[in-house]
Structures are given as structure tokens and as C-alpha cells.
A and B are shown apart, each in its own frame.
Chain A
């Protein structure tokens, strides 16, 4: 397996609270990696260290390295906007901008300097197609994104993230606010997306992890307890705590 990101000795504190302890993991390229664990275990925090969204939190302190593209993303000279362009993110609740569907998708490319209408049109169409929502919205690109259903909004957010051509797509419990049908669509989409992108997703739903992920990382109380292929983890977990969690003894 190819590695796209190497996390080395990553520690994170929120003020005095030591939220992540010595995390070491290689994120495999063009695979879906699921981060699982009970609430408050640090999986979402870990996800947000990958595109430095934790920088926005006050009093956060991070040590260790995350190597991406042969560089530590926490090196002082790194351009965070470039990093976040390469590592897109889809949030827990769909959060389209209060703008038209078109402008939502075009927002990222415009931010990065694309002004040509022809280019933007192409990007918008391609991104919406990649997010499997083009057919549903192609006739109403200029209507407000807030008029869409929750599931559509979330796929729009995925399209918006794809529009800046990322390498990696981070999904932070991106289906937890959606109904089962929309969830199914997004799961299918994630499987489709791994051909071109690397997907790292936080999920509360272990069936979901089993259904679509290739690798799985189990977090507990700020530790990365186990990282292995999903099928291995769910058939023969190496660690007792993993076994207890996935068999439903706690969580």
C-alpha cells in the first residue's frame, strides 16, 4: 500500500487537556480509512489535525509531525490555505453557503483565483457529477442551496470540496445527520471517490466502517489503540479494548 500521509508522534492539547497521545499512523493512499471510537476519544480532533482546522481553536497546542508531500504540514513555512486546498473537508452537518448551488461550488475555485466563466462552468459540472448530484440539480444551478434536502446539501458540500481538486477528502461524521437513504448514497459515493482521492472518515456507525472502509483506526481516550485493515480488525482484533468496543461491550 502507498502512504499519502505519515503521522509521527502527534500530541495535541486543548489548554491543559491532553487530547491526543503519541499518535503514529500511515494513511494509505486511495483507500478509505475509517476512524472509530466512542465519543470524546479524539477521532474528530485527530481528523482536524490533518488539515489544520484545529488551528482555529483557541489554546490548542500540537507537537509531532504529519508528513504530506515530503513535508511536515506543521512546519512554520507551510501555507495553510494551500494545505486546505489539497486536503478537503466535509463536516458533520451539511453547511452549504447561503448562495446559489453554482456559487457554492465556484466558491473554492474563485478563492484560488479562477475567474473564467468557461473554466468555472466546467469545474462546477465536473464536481457535481463526481459527487453524483449533477442530474438532480443541473436545472436549478442558480437557485439557493438552502432549498435542497439535507442529503443533497451534503453531497453538494462534497462537490464543493472536490471543486478545488484535493488529494484527500476528510469526512467528519458526514452522514450522521442524514436519513438512511441519503447515507447510502454518500457511502456509495465515498467508495467511488477513492479511485481518485484518499478518504479519511470519522464515523460513529461501525456497520458503516465495515461496509465501506478499507482500513480502520480505533481511538480510545486519546490513544490510537489499533490500526489495521478493516476486515482484520472486525474479524480478529489484536487489542482487547478494540474487541470490547466492536462487540458492543462499551461505547
Chain B
């Protein structure tokens, strides 16, 4: 038998090390971001006080005549409402599209929709924002007779469209994974195709669909660029037809002019930390669902 040469052994070890290094880079970045965000975000929270920071309703970081105030409740609520709104509208549409694609659509037509969905996923968010500015904002202004159409509603609509591709793709995959045998059994009992999809296929794919929803939530809550352009960017407590500011857009819009080292800048870091925690929670949620699916 021929033995491994020293050279072979060395290259194998070397390649192994390269893979390892690449893996470590990803982990390293996550750790680095987490640590820095905590370090950068904590001081402002200490100074302002956690309850005042999280539950204060006024955000006036640069007030001069009165005491500046740093309450981010408007941002948090706006992010939650905006995401919830997008999910509320986007999930039913996305889910029905997925059912159609996976179960009912003629192959050619499905292909057209697939291409459209892929394009939708590939459009840069700033373009969504632009189109929203040109079409949605004036439309809403006229429809509701408002001084400005840049509102939470406009942001919700933009977010809805942005989360559609992930919801459609992930739930379609889940639906396609439902064994054909389940559906045959249902139809052999005299159920119609539609009854079968809704009562057998959907429940059987529910963990995958839940993952799709959570993914959509993650995408919506983290979006900044598109909604900064259509939401008016005013730190109001959210209402459907008021101009609002999200956590993401607060950071993006104020960071540029916040004085370096000021409490304002530090507070923006703290918003980043809060947002980060939100997204972490969503990820944990997602993981639990994915694990749930594997064990089921």
C-alpha cells in the first residue's frame, strides 16, 4: 500500500485551516458587532435612564430652550406598527401566491410569476423608496386630503411589497415539500383541491410558513432606506396617517449631523442596540421554528 506523502498531508491541513479561518471570520464579525454595539449603546442608556429612554414619548435631542429629551417610544412603536402592518397585509397575499404557485398555477404562468418575484427581491430598497415617493406619497395625500402623504401608511405599503418575495419563496418551498400522498388521500376522500390545500397542505407546511412570516418580520423591521423616503421622518407617536420615524430611519437620518461624542450620537447608538435586540429575538424565534420543523 502507498502511504500519504508529507506534502499531501500538509496541503490537507493547510486547506482545512483556510476553511476554518473563513468560518471564524463570520463568527468574529457577529461578536465584534455585538460587543461594539453594547459598548457604544450602553452609556446613553445609563445617562438617560432605561425607562425614560424606552418609554419617553418625546425625542428632542437638540432642544436648546428646554431640556433635550431622549424618549424613543415613538420609534419603537412605529417600527412595531409598521412591521405588523406589513406582515398583516403581506402574509395573506404572499401565502395565497405561494399556494397558487406550488399547487394550482399552470407551469408557464408560474414561471412568469417566479421571475417577477425574483426581480422584486432584487430591486434595491432605495428604488422602492423612489417609486413610493413618486406614486404612493402624492396618492395618499390626495386620497385622504392630507398636508403630506408621507405617512406610516405609505411605509407599510412599501414594506409589504418588500417582504413579499421572502414570504412567497419560503412558504412555497414549504408547500412543495408536503408529500403528495397527503393530498391524494384527501382528494380520495372526496375533498376538492381547494379544501385539500387549505385543510391538509397548509397545516402540513405550517412550520415552514411560520419561518416565512418571521423572515418577513425581520426584513421589515430592519429596513431603513425605502421607508425613510416615504414616511415623513418626524418623531411622532405613530398613527396610520401621520408622518413617522422608525428606529432604523432615526439612526440613518440623524447620525450625519449629530455632533461626535454628544449624547445625541450616543443615544442613536442605543437605538441601534435596541433594534439589534429586536432582531436577535426574531432570529431566536426563527431558530426555534426551524428546529421544530426538523424534529416534527
Could you list which residues of chain A lie within 8 angstroms of chain B, going by C-beta atoms? 51, 53, 56, 81-85, 88-89, 91, 93, 95-99, 107-108, 111-112, 157, 160-161, 164
Could you list which residues of chain B lie within 8 angstroms of chain A, going by C-beta atoms? 179, 181-182, 184-192, 195, 199-200, 203-204, 296
Residues on B with beta carbons closer than 8 Å to the beta carbon of A161: 188-189
**CB-CB under 8 A for A108 and B189, given A56-B184, A98-B182:** yes
- Among A53, A84, A98, A99, residue most surrounded by chain B Cβ atoms (within 10 Å): A98
Which single residue of chain B is at the shortest CB-CB distance from A84?
A: B190
Residues on A with beta carbons closer than 8 Å to the beta carbon of B190: 81-85, 108, 111-112, 164
A6 to B32 alpha-carbon distance, docked (Å): 76
Residue pair A160, B189 in contact (C-beta under 8 Å)? yes
**CB-CB under 8 A for A91 and B189, given A97-B200, A97-B204:** no
A-B interface contact total, Cβ < 8 Å? 63
**Least CB distance, B44 to chain A, in whole angstroms:** 49
Residues on A with beta carbons closer than 8 Å to the beta carbon of B185: 91, 95-97, 157, 160
**CB-CB under 8 A for A111 and B189, given A56-B184, A95-B179:** yes
Which single residue of chain B is at the shortest CB-CB distance from A83?
A: B190
A95 to B186 alpha-carbon distance, docked (Å): 10
A108 to B186 alpha-carbon distance, docked (Å): 8
**Least CB distance, B181 to chain A, in whole angstroms:** 4
Residue pair A88, B189 in contact (C-beta under 8 Å)? yes
Residues on A with beta carbons closer than 8 Å to the beta carbon of B296: 98
A99 to B181 alpha-carbon distance, docked (Å): 14
A7 to B188 alpha-carbon distance, docked (Å): 20
A41 to B218 alpha-carbon distance, docked (Å): 54
**CB-CB under 8 A for A99 and B187, given A81-B192, A91-B181, A93-B181:** no
**Least CB distance, A136 to chain B, in whole angstroms:** 20
Residues on A with beta carbons closer than 8 Å to the beta carbon of B191: 81, 107-108, 111
Which single residue of chain B is at the shortest CB-CB distance from A58?
A: B107
Residues on B with beta carbons closer than 8 Å to the beta carbon of A96: 185
Which single residue of chain B is at the shortest CB-CB distance from A112?
A: B190
Task: Contacts A53-B188, A157-B185 known; list 17 others, CB within 8 Å.
Answer: A85-B189, A88-B189, A91-B185, A95-B181, A96-B185, A97-B182, A97-B185, A98-B182, A107-B186, A107-B189, A107-B199, A108-B190, A111-B189, A111-B191, A111-B199, A161-B188, A164-B190
